[in-house]
Chain A
């Protein structure tokens, strides 16, 4: 019974924590643009939260820099189970143009497990909406 309620609320309203692990800002701005009146991801129940302890989904942008690597791990550990990670943008997926830079790990999945990838440099808000809907569908079918 309780499980059903929890699952219902998670599908209805996934809480997302956004974390910039070294991105150039392009992706971060597009995430916020997706929440603004034109695209309005909140119509699918997405709420951007400030703290990872309240979040179901960690939305990571950027190749992981040396300085942010430990921080990313800490944030991931703070999230309650079950947790989902989305690598957002080309750099988050693979490291893209920064592959091989001396201070770059290259891709979120080098550091923490990733559940979904949204490619693009930066992905358009449409792609974000698409990703959100796909993730919600996966939530629902994950039983």
Chain B
């Protein structure tokens, strides 16, 4: 099974995923286009026991944002990777499929300004209510209004 999962995923996600790869520490990375994210998550959940979403990571890589959905499928950790263009950082909500994603998707919006569509409960989660429109602090080009500097 352990060796088999990568082969199974490669054939099952053919045409849906852009690439399927495994690293030295048996973490599987699946790159999917934004439109097929829900489909890929559904397949993982129904066919590979991937009900547990561990967390969602978001990275700012300059021209686009990279969102990583870490899902435990069977014995392995499968990461769905989605690239979002910087001028339109929006993505479909995964919460209807994986209810555990609800808090992590609120976090995406809070710290990086990713708009999550069809999310049932989009409120602030980490930043204070008094934050206002001071921006999204984890973006690389964010400037702290207190110090007029980027950074911590």
A70 interface residue, CB < 8 Å from B? yes
Tell me the residues in window 76-132 of chain B with beta carbons closer than 8 Å to chain A beta carbons. 127-131
Residue-wise, chain B 129-152 has the 8 Å CB interface mask toward A (1 for contact) of 111000001000000100100011
Let me know if B152 and A102 touch, CB within 8 A. Answer: yes
A100 interface residue, CB < 8 Å from B? yes
Chain A CB within 10 A, most for which of B128, B129, B137, B147? B128
Tell me the residues in window 100-117 of chain A with beta carbons closer than 8 Å to chain B beta carbons. 100-103
Let me know if A103 and B152 touch, CB within 8 A. Answer: no
The tally of residues in B whose CB lies under 8 Å from a CB in A reads 10
User: With contacts defined as CB atoms under 8 Å apart, how many contacts are there between chain A and chain B in the complex?
Assistant: 20
A51 interface residue, CB < 8 Å from B? no
Residues in A whose Cβ lies below 8 Å from that of B151: 100
Cα A32 to Cα B147 in complex, Å, equals 37
Chain A interface, DSSP helix/strand/loop, else mixed: mixed
Let me know if B128 and A102 touch, CB within 8 A. Answer: no
Cα A86 to Cα B49 in complex, Å, equals 52
Minimum CB distance partner of A100 in chain B: B152
Contacts known (A100-B152, A102-B137); A66 close to B147, Cβ less than 8 A: no
The tally of residues in A whose CB lies under 8 Å from a CB in B reads 9
Cα A70 to Cα B127 in complex, Å, equals 14
Let me know if B152 and A67 touch, CB within 8 A. Answer: no
Chain B CB within 10 A, most for which of A65, A70, A102? A102
Residue-wise, chain A 91-104 has the 8 Å CB interface mask toward B (1 for contact) of 00000000011110
Residues in A whose Cβ lies below 8 Å from that of B131: 66
Let me know if B127 and A66 touch, CB within 8 A. Answer: yes
Let me know if A66 and B152 touch, CB within 8 A. Answer: no
Let me know if A103 and B144 touch, CB within 8 A. Answer: no
Let me know if A66 and B128 touch, CB within 8 A. Answer: yes
Residues in B whose Cβ lies below 8 Å from that of A69: 128
Partner of B147, one of A67, A100, A103: A100
Tell me the residues in window 25-69 of chain A with beta carbons closer than 8 Å to chain B beta carbons. 65-67, 69
Let me know if B130 and A101 touch, CB within 8 A. Answer: no
Tell me the residues in window 57-84 of chain B with beta carbons closer than 8 Å to chain A beta carbons. none
What residues make up the interface of A, taking CB atoms closer than 8 Å to B? Answer: 65-67, 69-70, 100-103
With A67-B129, A69-B128, A102-B137 given, name 5 new contacts (CB 8 A): A66-B127, A66-B130, A67-B128, A100-B152, A101-B152
A/B interface sample: 20 pairs, CB < 8 A: A65-B128, A66-B127, A66-B128, A66-B130, A66-B131, A67-B127, A67-B128, A67-B129, A69-B128, A70-B130, A100-B147, A100-B151, A100-B152, A101-B152, A102-B137, A102-B144, A102-B152, A103-B127, A103-B128, A103-B137
- Considering the complex of A and B, which 10 residue pairs feature the smallest CB-CB distances, nearest first? A66-B128, A67-B128, A102-B137, A100-B152, A101-B152, A102-B144, A66-B130, A66-B131, A103-B127, A103-B128
